[in-house]
A = this chain, B = another copy of it.
């Protein structure tokens, strides 16, 4: 409607000034005379601009998630920012197409110019990793050294400050722990779910035992598998469980995440479910980006044949596998059971997860 702003801009600004083009378009400073260096510079600069955008969206997400209470009305905003991060990461992956228009021989024309400079030194990318929740000790070193060794002192200090603040993973943990309904009134999801799983395993075990056609050896194997499942499950759900230190989230947070994944259609869980999905998308896209990056490194720099010597390619492949931040959310898939086996939520719990306007029926027009 109102193209008219409430308060008009003090001065009329033009496109060029608004976007700071005189500065922006003067900031490409290839060192060599190699033709492809311009592409190399531009692609890296756009990467840094995208990182800036991602960090900016992460600011908003973390500000909301940092609250003692996260308002339901803010969850759409969280998803909007996470969704924008997802869209941007998809572009980052696709952007490698442009880089791959360069051949190794063309790269050789100028790669000497930045012998020690490398994407390794991107502060924004390090900040992103840290703020999402990548711990320093979980990082893979390059040539046995931490990436910090490649940074000047003040950059290192800045990163240590960022490390000291709560990461998105920390905030997620606290938010999940606060999820109502997991234990509410007489309903205890942890106990109810554990019972459902154990019943299922017991029934399956009984069926195996009763199966006359199954050879004894197969039976034994199958039964051992079922026992294994029960044991694995109890690492998270037994009252006395001490979860494997490989988990990043706390036991209560994991249980809440599982609860959300299982009862995601409840109106009050739809938005939290989407947020968990968004975080998995982010984690997956970062892994994919690292992997495509690794393939490109191999194409540009070659691969050592036979045994020996780690390369940039190997390092990047390793980070794609190990620098996963929200891996717990993936791992939880192992703990799902079929919907038909799910403990039914008590009516009273379900009602609480519906909107007020619909009386107690929980339906909407």
Contacts of A269-314 to chain B: CB distance below 8 A: 270-271, 273, 277, 280, 284, 287-288, 291-292, 295, 298-306
CB < 8 Å neighbour of A247 from B5, B24, B41, B305: B305
Contact between chains at A355 and B357 (CB < 8 Å): no
A217 at the interface (CB under 8 A from B): no
A83 within 8 A of partner (CB)? yes
Q: Is A189 an interface residue, CB under 8 A from the partner?
A: no
Query: Within 8 Å of chain B (Cβ to Cβ): is A153?
Result: no
> What are the 6 tightest A-B residue pairs by CB atom distance, in nearest-first order?
A5-B112, A302-B334, A178-B365, A302-B333, A352-B357, A15-B121
Contact of A50 among B20, B42, B119 (CB under 8 A): B42
**CB atoms of A331 and B351 under 8 A apart:** no
Which residue in B18, B44, B200 is a CB contact (below 8 Å) of A2?
B200
Q: Tell me, yes or no, whether A188 is within 8 Å of chain B by CB.
A: no
Instruction: Report whether B76 and A273 are in contact in the complex, using a CB–CB cutoff of 8 Å.
Output: yes
Q: Which of B20, B38, B303, B365 contacts A27 (CB 8 A)?
A: B20
Across the interface, do B44 and A19 meet the contact criterion of CB distance under 8 Å?
yes
Measured in the bound complex, the distance between the Cα atoms of B267 and A267 in whole Å is 9
- Whole-angstrom CA separation of A16 from B284 in the bound complex: 27
Distance of A261 Cα from B303 Cα, bound (Å): 16
Q: Does A197 interact with chain B (Cβ within 8 Å)?
A: yes
Q: Which of B91, B120, B264, B266 contacts A95 (CB 8 A)?
A: B91
Contacts of A292 in B (CB 8 A): 288
CA gap between A62 and B245 in the complex, in Å: 47
CA distance A197 to B112 in the complex (A): 17
Residues A306 and B246 in contact in the complex (CB < 8 Å), given A71-B363, A115-B9, A287-B295 = yes
